[in-house]
A and B are shown apart, each in its own frame.
Chain A
Amino acid sequence: QKEVEQNSGPLSVPEGAIASLNCTYSDRVSQSFFWYRQYSGKSPELIMSIYSNGDKEDGRFTAQLNKASQYVSLLIRDSQPSDSATYLCAVTTSEKLVFGKGTKLTVNP
């Protein structure tokens, strides 16, 4: 089992909709969780960090963490075409930051 798993997508949503991105991880003692956005040909850009169970909101983004289920998600409200990118979930495990393969999101105008 891979340490961090994401659906590769592509996930396609209409403009203005809520995009929901999901991630599961295998290491029960993981403590730090991050979402990065990566545009094609660019480097990863940190958009959210979450450390405790529950929801964390920042503008149109909400990160949700459930350590019991080993699940972390990212919701993007009022999706815009500029949100079209690959979203990488990253989890600190065994003193390393481990990334999933990413979910490609397309927001259609």
Chain B
Amino acid sequence: GAGVSQSPRYKVAKRGQDVALRCDPISGHVSLFWYQQALGQGPEFLTYFQNEAQLDKSGLPSDRFFAERPEGSVSTLKIQRTQQEDSAVYLCASSLHEGTAYEQYFGPGTRLTVT
């Protein structure tokens, strides 16, 4: 079946611009996660949704970062007034079950470059 999809795959933004990154999870997956991965590092947790509810946003690095999943399926990660330190790969993952204890499947990621 179809895996997790993300768009755009690449995004170049000038410093100060707003960006929106989209994630389509595997159909029927209850849980959705966003991660940020810097070069040479493992993915770092940003936020977690169970259906439409955002249960954990403790990893969002600043109030410029905002995520939503209004209908419990597609999710959008928005970054306002982008800064150079926001340059990274943003990964979305989904899981069939509630919580973080189960297998998560990743999308291809969006590589954001802020110039």
Contact = CB atoms under 8 A, between A and B. Distances in A.
Interface of A: 4, 31-32, 34, 36, 42-46, 49, 88, 90, 92, 95-102
Given A44-B91, A45-B106, A99 B43 contact: yes
Interface string B12-34: 00000000000000000000010
Interface of B: 33, 40-45, 48, 56, 58-59, 89, 91, 99-109
A105 B14 CA distance: 36
Main secondary structure of the interface of B (DSSP, over half): loop
Main secondary structure of the interface of A (DSSP, over half): strand
Which of A42, A95, A100 counts the most B-chain CB atoms under 10 A from its CB? Answer: A95
Given A96-B59, A101-B41, A101-B42, A34 B108 contact: no
A92 B101 CA distance: 6
Given A42-B108, A43-B108, A98 B103 contact: no
Given A43-B106, A43-B107, A88-B43, 7 more contacts: A43-B109, A44-B106, A45-B106, A90-B42, A96-B59, A97-B100, A99-B43
